[in-house]
Structures are given as structure tokens and as C-alpha cells.
Amino acid sequence: MTTDVKNRIQDLIDAHDVVLFMKGTKEMPQCGFSSRVAGVLNYMGVEYSDVNVLADQDVRQGIKDFSDWPTIPQLYVKGEFVGGCDIITEMTLSGELDQLFDQKGVGYDKDAADKIREANA
């Protein structure tokens, strides 16, 4: 990964409290895993920046090298890599994602988070 790509990725992560590197956009995800994570964030009312890795091959490979994580989507909260689809799903259902947002001062709809858990109980 070039320094330029690494710097671009770091700038994106630094510029936004919550960043989702995904296939497609939050309005039109291009894969099921990206759709699931974007759906959780959208439903919970989290304000986040979406980065479409399909639009930039350097970022598509670069983010995998950057995080040392092999798959997309990838969620970052306040500069910290949180995980991909499975981890975000587990954290949502366990309430850990709420705790992370609370700790980091990220706004979200607590009732919506509870509804997700109720629907998947």
C-alpha cells in the first residue's frame, strides 16, 4: 500500500466520528454484508460517513492492509477499527455497540437499538 493511499484512508477516518468502508453506499449497498451493517447504523440513526470501496480500487485493497482485516465492510468509530459484519452484528445484539457509542460520545437511537435486539431475541 502506498503512503498516499494510507494517508487518504487515515484522513477519512480522522475527518469523521464514524466511518463505514463498504461496497456501495449507505443509500445503495452493493453486497449483503455492507447492507446489513449500513442497515443497523441507518436504523439506529447513527451519523456516519460511507466510503464506497468499489469506486476506488486503491482504497478497496488499501483498507484491508490498513486494518489488517481481510473483508469489507469495516467500521471505524472515533479512529478505532471496530470490525466487520459479523462483529458488528454480534455487538449490536449484545448491546456492546451501544456501550461503544456511549463511551465514544456517538449519538444513536437507544430505542431503535433495543428494537433490533427484541426482533432478534
Extents of the domains making up the chain = 3-119
Give the mean model confidence (pLDDT) for residues 50-76: 96
Class of domain 3-119: alpha beta
Is 85 flagged in the annotation as binding?
A: no
What are the distances in angstroms from CA 57 to CA 26, 32, 63?
19, 19, 10
The percent helix, strand, coil of the chain (3-state, each to 5) is: 55, 15, 30
pTM of the model: 0.95
For 24-54, how does the pLDDT look when each residue is reduced to its tens digit (9 = 90+)? 999 999 999 999 999 999 999 999 999 999 9
Banded pLDDT at 121 (limits 50, 70, 90): confident
Residue 2: its pLDDT value, please? 87
